[in-house]
Amino acid sequence: GAVVSQHPSRVICKSGTSVKIECRSLDFQATTMFWYRQFPKQSLMLMATSNEGSKATYEQGVEKDKFLINHASLTLSTLTVTSAHPEDSSFYICSAPGISGGLSYGYTFGSGTRLTVV
Amino acid sequence: SQQGEEDPQALSIQEGENATMNCSYKTSINNLQWYRQNSGRGLVHLILIRSNEREKHSGRLRVTLDTSKKSSSLLITASRAADTASYFCATDPNTGTASKLTFGTGTRLQVTL
């Protein structure tokens, strides 16, 4: 089945530095990738939608200059947290839709990245 | 917030028992999906039910959908310790294209031996 590989799984960085999270679709082409943020024991909140070859669409309240999204190829989407602060510490997850014949077959998620900013 | 609600928030049962989780949502949908999330991991797609379907089965999973009440339920029969996880419903409003899912608040299931 479809697999999305997300790296790194865990990262600790110092305040003020930037962190890049990668999501690769291994056996399919992901023209769209969704990026979520999840706080402990809470649900997923959509941050942005990346589309291959075009600018990402950000949800209301998400700072596009802070959370840079790049979707340069059909198999790679990246999220860069710039000038990270402790409040950016969270679990970040990417997801790509599974579509066949125009019908939705559920979404494939990466394994998540636990970001801790110290 | 357009987020769906799930209940219960937490459920603790013994192995072999059935677990039922409920999901309510607010907007019209094309389909509703259920996902499982083990602690500190990504989500795994369990089952998708379309708006014109009322019930669907997959192994030990049974999902119902009542679009008139904007609600769905997930039943896990003969639960196992390995079923311990958080379960989320997610609604998909569009037809065929890559659309934004709206996730419910989740149910944390604990299955004890």
Query: H helices of A1-118, where?
Result: none
pLDDT score of A65 = 95
pLDDT digits (tens, 9 = 90+) for B70-110: 999 999 999 999 999 999 999 998 765 678 899 999 999 99
Task: Answer yes or no: do A112 and B92 touch at CB < 8 A.
Answer: no
B-chain residues near A44 (CB < 8 A): 43, 88, 103
Q: Which two tokens stand for residue B72?
A: 């769905």
Task: Answer yes or no: do A43 and B3 touch at CB < 8 A.
Answer: yes
Task: Answer yes or no: do B98 and A99 touch at CB < 8 A.
Answer: yes
Q: What percent of chain A has pLDDT over 90?
A: 75
Q: Which residue of A has its CA nearest to B6?
A: A43
CB burial readout B37-74, b (16+ within 10 A) else e: beeebbbebbbbbebeeeebeeeebbbbbeeeebbbbb
pLDDT-derived band at A97, boundaries 50, 70, 90: confident
pLDDT digits (tens, 9 = 90+) for A50-94: 998 889 999 999 999 999 999 989 999 999 999 999 999 999 999
